Amino acid sequence: MYGAVIHAPGDVRYEHREDPRLQQPTDAIIRLTASCVCGSDLWDYRGINPVTQPTPMGHEYVGIVEQVGAAVHNVKVGDFVVGSFFASDNTCEICQAGYQSRCMHLEFVGAGGAQSELLRVPLADGTLVATPGMPDPDLVPSLLAASDVLGTGWFGAVAAEVGPGKTVAVVGDGAVGLLAVLAAEQLGAKRIIAMSRHASRQNLAREFGATDIVEERGDAGVARIKELTGGLGAHSVIEAVGTQESMLQAIRSTRPGGHVGFVGVAHGVELPGEELFYAEVHLMGGPAPVRRFLPDLIERIWRREIDPGKVFDLTLPLSQAAEAYRAMDERRAIKVLLTPDGP
């Protein structure tokens, strides 16, 4: 098969790779219908995460089950499935509590590189969720979004205790931030403030349910949120970037007693203890337990109540993976969907 492999920062190649094989009786092999490039893939692409050897890329996927191990019972050959970037057994105490992203038997599905034609998914019974049938082609982007960015934005909103009547602010206008806006709308928020300075992203945020846009960032962004909330700050703030500036912006935009849901992968974030002490806000975040939300998200997509696939504003064949990374790195695209090149 062929897939995307990163060799060095800025150097992603579409190249021949060995077909994945079943390694454990709990594995499944799926043939990918679509995959995509994640904001977190750019940490490797930009050399912020060191690339020490050629590494297969991609951890977001939907596809059709091609093979299952002898111990797999919940999905069968021919099923269309969605899974999370983390494989989880979905049975241990941590999974049962809803934190599948910290399963006691956690494995990173992305180790197999989902920007490819075939993918080995460990712990298939706990990880994969089959759709009610073969999806119409126009549903595929939304189902793919559920695999990571929608599930992550949703977790951000749940972690920030978004609910009816609340004022929500979202820091970050990447795919996760935009889908956190959609999640906040679905969860009944009264007012949703999206922080973005890019016209196309502002438009999508409004489509997803944002009621206000704040273009300022840092201290000026915080001041604007305070101004919009009668000096109080938002009830719920979702942080979807992962930098020192965005994390402090999120904490400082939250009212005392409010909640911050932080889902941007933290890079070099250090929180000042004294400020945190007096901020008196709830902090909850981490890698999203996407598996917890998948059945609900798939149903909402299947019933066409939400269209999170709109975050994909560029589709390319897998063989143009290098261009997909460039487009995201240069912020020419919000998120790039990759489809197999075919025989």
- Residues contributing to the site for Zn ion (CB under 5 A): 88-89, 92, 95, 103
Smallest CA-to-CA distance from 162 within 185, 194, 193 is with 185
Least distance to Zn ion, CB of residue 126, Å: 7
Provide the β-strand partners of residue 107: 87
Provide the β-strand partners of residue 301: none
- Using DSSP, state whether 308 is helix, strand or coil: helix
Main-chain phi, psi angles of 117, to 5 degrees: -90, -30
What are the distances in angstroms from CA 6 to CA 54, 112, 147? 5, 13, 22
Among residues 55 and 91, whose Cβ is nearest to Zn ion?
91
Among residues 88 and 152, whose Cβ is nearest to Zn ion?
88
Among residues 79 and 89, whose Cβ is nearest to Zn ion?
89
Least distance to Zn ion, CB of residue 227, Å: 44
Least distance to Zn ion, CB of residue 104, Å: 5
Among residues 22 and 92, whose Cβ is nearest to Zn ion?
92
Least distance to Zn ion, CB of residue 89, Å: 4
Among residues 27 and 89, whose Cβ is nearest to Zn ion?
89
Main-chain phi, psi angles of 67, to 5 degrees: -145, 150
Among residues 44 and 107, whose Cβ is nearest to Zn ion?
107
Question: Cβ distance 40 to 265 under 8 Å?
Answer: yes
Percentage helix, strand, coil, to 5, in the chain?
A: 35, 25, 40
What are the distances in angstroms from CA 229 to CA 75, 145, 221, 224? 48, 31, 13, 9
Least distance to Zn ion, CB of residue 101, Å: 10
Among residues 104 and 134, whose Cβ is nearest to Zn ion?
104
Least distance to Zn ion, CB of residue 153, Å: 23
Cα 165 from Cα 255, distance rounded (Å): 15
The dihedral over CA atoms of 28, 95, 142, 69, expressed in degrees to the nearest 10, equals: 10
Least distance to Zn ion, CB of residue 34, Å: 27
